[in-house]
Structure 1
Amino acid sequence: MTETVDRQTQFSGTSAVRAGQEIDLARLHGWMTANVEGFAGPLTVEQFKGGQSNPTYKLLTPGQNYVLRRKPPGQLLASAHAVDREYRVITALHAQGFPVARTFGLCTDESVIGTWFYVMDCVDGRIFWDTSFPDVPREQRAAYFDAMNATLAQLHMIDVEKAGLADYGKPGNYFSRQIGRWSRQYMEDADAGRVAAMDRLVEWLPANIPPGEEVSVVHGDYRCDNMIFHKTEPKVLAVLDWELSTLGHPLADFAYHLMIYRMPPETTTGLLGRDLDALGVPTEAEYVAAYCARTGRAGIDNLDFYVAYNLFRLAGIVHGIRGRVVRGTATSAHARKMAEGVENLADLALAQARKIGA
């Protein structure tokens, strides 16, 4: 069995609810009846294999299926797992015609299932867990890449004032604030331990931030497996997992997505070293040019810094997962596997930074 098949089968679809993440169906049924227009039971629940940070469930009824996202149980970092922010941004973007699921309600009453949660539509389509789209014919892969590119450009061109999201984050000084945030979370999570490459990046990154400010809604984790595609067409039906979204610099968001070209296949199914022509996917330069054309840019200066920052940030995210594994609040096999990759990601980030003087 190949690694590609492993990822696709490991993360796709649903399974029984994992131990420690059960839901009181009677209380949830009562809340759904009172708060979700058109809801009618009986109600059954399964858990998606993905959705590691905020546990995600499929709610099945005779008339319609729903998706529930919740904070995980247990001790949490104060700023993490903000499902109320996810709910807000998805609701606002749906009203702007951006491809996200329709939302039905947010619950901040912990007595219902033990943590805050929200309910949204269950969008029927395909999720791809490998960036090379191995299940798509070669001649169609470029169109799937173009759909990802166009959807991210659409997000970055949304008017935050018109969308009602002008206060969704702090405008300005995005890189300084984000580097500070992830540095603090890294330093404070003693359970996950220290990493030499991370220590160096915590020192180097804030002293080398490029000039220039732009503000847009940023997704924060934009990659192929956080999108639902049409079952047969290269069309994005819904972008998922908005936990890390905020107001920020669009080039930071784009460079995070672009990391697929700078990361090896064994890390997170990256494209580094792959024969892109044989795969039928665009080169990094072609992909950057398409995004620039859609967003009215002549090019992207300081792209290497943006990628280094994002690799650092990703290492910080995975470092946090390691901390949750140690504390017992992340129990899945996928979370444990991800937690093993902190050093590799931190080394990749530092190697990228060294290209520009670190």
Structure 2
Amino acid sequence: MSGTELPGLDLDRLAAHLGTGPLTGELIPGGRSNLTYRVTDGRHRWVLRRPPLGHVLATAHDMSREYRVISALAGTAVPVPGVELLCEDPEVLGAPFYLMREMPGQALRHRDQCPWLTPDKAAALSDRLVDVLVDLHAVDPAQVGLGDFGRPDGFLRRQVARWGKQLEASRSRELPGIDELRDRLAGSVPSPRRAAIVHGDYRLDNVLVTADPLGISAVLDWEMATLGDPLADLGLLCVYWSGLGGAEDDPITGTVPSLPGFADTERLVQRYALRSGADVTGLGWYTAFGYFKLAVIIEGIHYRFTSGKTVGAGFDTIGAMTLPLVRRGLAQTAGEH
């Protein structure tokens, strides 16, 4: 495919920058925020990440942060792809980008991708997903050069404020209940816990799964990583795991976790607590915050779609997900299930 056929990726300019021969590429589907492409010169295969084409919210699409955290985690128990190059010069592709090595495995979003996934393997994959998250939260940030990667003091309060600001930047219609949810969260922020490297968007389809042997070859999409409260990752994982549009219709995370054998959210939380030794009481606030954060992200995607600045399929109905997420978040803050 030529560069003119890939919005956001001029393959001729990229080849000139890399000093390679002619390149071919394709958009990797499934992403709803940063754009991801597979690129090859016929001998080498890379994955390229760059911000969306328009309406880029402050700090939400920082390529250098992704590159830094992936580089820092190389050599730890956390599986990450090898990174090749960071380009912060917007003259090359119109925005900063980075290249990483293509890793084996698939991001599992649809049932038809994994006919091999028996109930026993689904159960084992559930456990492995939690174990990788525990391994991430066990990494000492200072030991891997990430001691200054974020400001853990006041992390949760700043997160609520930050996503409130992101909401205002993306607000283009009435959203009943979303301001109430934000205010409830702001008025009940939990006491600080220990600081850890948090992924910020950890879920099944943000990892690459290998079938034989069964495992996770890489954790992807680090655009929201920082230092903060590790239960923020666990709460958001529970939001994703419960299904956003029902077992048969979830355009964000897909339908794979609804297959027989996958653990329920209670088991995920129990395994996390057992493996990490963390106190998971009060997780409901973190889950409610996960619903709010995801509602804001969805609204940002909807805004870009209505502005004609998205690439890929599935954006036309995504805006319908915002209010159900808000309602679930409000239910969590009210102690409902």
Whether the TM-score (by the shorter chain) exceeds 0.5 is: yes
Corresponding residue for residue 49 of structure 2: 69
1:205 to 185, 197, 205: 185
1:265 to 211, 235, 247: 247
Q: Could you tell me which amino acid in structure 2 is paired with residue 317 of structure 1?
A: I
Does the C-alpha gap of structure 1 residues 280 and 113 become closer, same or farther in structure 2, counting only changes over 3 Å? same
* In 2: Cα distance, 1:89 partner to 1:281 partner: 29
Corresponding residue for residue 60 of structure 2: 80
* In 2: Cα distance, 1:132 partner to 1:258 partner: 23
Corresponding residue for residue 32 of structure 2: 52
Q: Could you tell me which amino acid in structure 1 is paired with residue 135 of structure 2?
A: Q
Deviations 1:17-45 (A, max 9, x none): 89671422222112222xxxxxx534211
* In 1: Cα distance, 2:206 partner to 2:22 partner: 29
Does the C-alpha gap of structure 1 residues 134 and 53 become closer, same or farther in structure 2, counting only changes over 3 Å? same
* In 1: Cα distance, 2:227 partner to 2:248 partner: 32
Alignment of 1:1-358 (within 5 A): 21-33=7-19, 40-130=20-110, 135=115, 136-190=117-171, 192-263=172-243, 264-266=246-248, 268=250, 279-297=260-278, 299-355=279-335
How many residues align? The count is: 332
Q: CA deviation at 1:345?
A: 1.1
Q: CA deviation at 1:234?
A: 2.5
Deviations 1:200-226 (A, max 9, x none): 112111111122322111111111111
Q: Could you tell me which amino acid in structure 2 is paired with residue 25 of structure 1?
A: L
Q: Is the 8 A contact 1:131 1:269 kept in 2?
A: no
Q: CA deviation at 1:103?
A: 0.4
In the alignment, structure 2 segments of 5+ residues that lack a partner are none
Deviates more, 1:87-96 or 1:217-226: 87-96
Does the C-alpha gap of structure 1 residues 78 and 22 become closer, same or farther in structure 2, counting only changes over 3 Å? closer
Q: CA deviation at 1:262?
A: 3.8
Q: Is the 8 A contact 1:305 1:356 kept in 2?
A: no
* In 1: Cα distance, 2:260 partner to 2:2 partner: 35
* In 1: Cα distance, 2:53 partner to 2:305 partner: 13
TM-score by length of structure 2 reads 0.90
Secondary structure, aligned partner of 1:178 = helix
Does the C-alpha gap of structure 1 residues 308 and 74 become closer, same or farther in structure 2, counting only changes over 3 Å? closer
TM-score by length of structure 1 reads 0.85
Q: Is the 8 A contact 2:77 2:136 kept in 1?
A: no
Deviations 1:160-197 (A, max 9, x none): 0011111111122121110101111112323x323112
Does the C-alpha gap of structure 1 residues 197 and 235 become closer, same or farther in structure 2, counting only changes over 3 Å? same
Q: Is the 8 A contact 1:325 1:339 kept in 2?
A: no
Q: Could you tell me which amino acid in structure 2 is paired with residue 336 of structure 1?
A: D
* In 2: Cα distance, 1:340 partner to 1:121 partner: 35
Q: Is the 8 A contact 2:200 2:233 kept in 1?
A: yes
* In 1: Cα distance, 2:215 partner to 2:232 partner: 24
In the alignment, structure 1 segments of 5+ residues that lack a partner are 1-14, 34-39
Secondary structure, aligned partner of 2:330 = helix
Q: Is the 8 A contact 1:173 1:213 kept in 2?
A: no
Q: Could you tell me which amino acid in structure 2 is paired with residue 182 of structure 1?
A: W
Q: Could you tell me which amino acid in structure 2 is paired with residue 29 of structure 1?
A: A
Q: Is the 8 A contact 2:192 2:229 kept in 1?
A: no
* In 2: Cα distance, 1:194 partner to 1:125 partner: 41
Q: Is the 8 A contact 2:77 2:135 kept in 1?
A: no
* In 1: Cα distance, 2:192 partner to 2:151 partner: 16
Does the C-alpha gap of structure 1 residues 275 and 128 become closer, same or farther in structure 2, counting only changes over 3 Å? closer
Deviations 1:145-166 (A, max 9, x none): 0110110100000010011111
Q: CA deviation at 1:72?
A: 2.2
Deviations 1:310-341 (A, max 9, x none): 11111111111111112222243323332221
Does the C-alpha gap of structure 1 residues 81 and 275 become closer, same or farther in structure 2, counting only changes over 3 Å? closer
Does the C-alpha gap of structure 1 residues 275 and 247 become closer, same or farther in structure 2, counting only changes over 3 Å? closer
Taking every aligned residue pair, what percent have the same amino acid on both sides? Answer: 33
Q: CA deviation at 1:250?
A: 0.3
Does the C-alpha gap of structure 1 residues 68 and 331 become closer, same or farther in structure 2, counting only changes over 3 Å? closer
* In 2: Cα distance, 1:275 partner to 1:128 partner: 9
Does the C-alpha gap of structure 1 residues 231 and 317 become closer, same or farther in structure 2, counting only changes over 3 Å? same
Does the C-alpha gap of structure 1 residues 22 and 175 become closer, same or farther in structure 2, counting only changes over 3 Å? closer
